[in-house]
Amino acid sequence: MELDTAVERVKRLLEPADAGDKDESVCIPQSSNAPSKGIFSKADIMVICKQCAPIIARGPISEARIADALNETSAGSQILKKYTLFQLTNRVKYERRKLTLKIVKA
C-alpha cells in the first residue's frame, strides 16, 4: 500500500473535478424544456377531479382506487396512459388539500 506524501495529497485534492475518474456518475441538469411544473392541462384536471371526486372527498388515496376510478371512462383511460400513477396520486392529494383549505377558510 502506497502512502501519499502531503504534497501529493494536496495536488490530488486541488485537481479539477473533471480531471478525476471518468467512470463517476454525472448529474445532468434538467433541460429548460422539461416539464417540472404545471404538467396537467386544465382538461386533464377536470377529468381527474370528476372521476376521482369520491377519492378526493374521503377515504384512502391509493393507486388502485385512482386507477379503478379513471378506468371507468375512456377519457380517464387516456389520462392513465399519459401520466404515471405516482403523478396522478400526487395530483389527487393536491386536490384534497385544496378542498380541505376551502372548507377551513369558509
Per-domain residue ranges of the chain: 42-105
Shortest CA distance to 65 belongs to which of 75, 53, 83? Answer: 53
Q: In the numeric block, which cell numbers belong to residue 24? A: 463517476
pLDDT tens-place string over residues 49-101: 999 999 999 999 999 999 999 999 999 999 999 999 999 999 999 999 999 88
pTM over 0.75, yes/no:
no
Angstrom CA distances, 12 to 19, 42, 58, stand at 10, 54, 59
Q: Which residues of 13-33 are buried (b: 16+ CB within 10 A; e: fewer)?
A: eeeeeeeeeeeeeeeeeeeee
pLDDT tens-place string over residues 91-104: 999 999 999 888 88
How does DSSP assign 34-51, residue by residue?
S--S--S-HHHHHHHHHH
